[in-house]
Amino acid sequence: MRRMQGFLSQSGLSWQDIDGVLITHEHSDHISGLDSLVNKTGLRVYAPHTVANRLLGRLPALEDNLRVIPVGEAFSVGGCRVTAFHTPHDTDESVGYRVEGSAIFALATDMGRVTDEIQNGLRGADAVLIEANHDLQMLRDGPYPFSLKRRIISDHGHLSNDACALLARELAASGTGQIILGHLSRENNCPELAQQTVSAALAGLQTELYCAPPLGPLTLEVLN
């Protein structure tokens, strides 16, 4: 909560500027602090059916604030049109989000492969955040046990820098002006390597490339 308060302050925002929280899946690195956030602010939490059930199993106090959303059908949050789409990950359900307002922002992380559903959810967005989780060589040479390495590179694991680069090039070619790399592994990747790999794939395309900071906000200017 202290970190989130600091991020909001740095961006000139407050808790009152948040209209809701979109949950992709229930893994701990995606819901840490959610119960404290809801207790403090009373914000609504949005999640698809199976994710919502898993959330209630772990954080039953969320029940009054939880809103179950359909996947593939638009709903409204804070004057924006929001659509969830599935991402293949090692949980019963995981989604990305497309948010349409004065500009279009889309997010997809925690995906072992890029599906047509993901491409449709991201394509045409002005800015996207996509996963560049690991460098394959760093993962192979790294300290993780073989079972965990196999999980990460599976079709329900995480996207490598190389796979991210292919997706980024397709999105840039379809008109996305800003691409943000996120969900980088601290053990199997580094921002410089991820940006280098994806930047090479974007050669000749007019797209801004960023790497999401591990701690702190990233502020983008809306492109005209």
Summarize pLDDT for 1-35 with one digit per residue, the tens.
888 888 899 888 999 999 999 999 999 889 998 99
Q: Is residue 39 part of a domain?
A: no
Q: Which domain holds residue 147?
A: 103-213
Does the pLDDT of residue 214 top 90, yes or no?
no
Does the pLDDT of residue 216 top 80, yes or no?
no
* Model pTM score: 0.94
How large is the average pLDDT for residues 158-187?
Answer: 97
How large is the average pLDDT for residues 65-84?
Answer: 96
Task: Strands of the chain (E only): list them.
Answer: 21-22, 45-48, 66-69, 75-77, 80-86, 95-100, 104-108, 127-131, 178-182, 208-211
pLDDT of residue 189: 96
Summarize pLDDT for 196-205 with one digit per residue, the tens.
999 999 999 9
Q: Is residue 164 part of a domain?
A: yes
Does the pLDDT of residue 213 top 90, yes or no?
no
For 157, the token pair is: 């694991």
CATH number at residue 208: 3.60.15.10
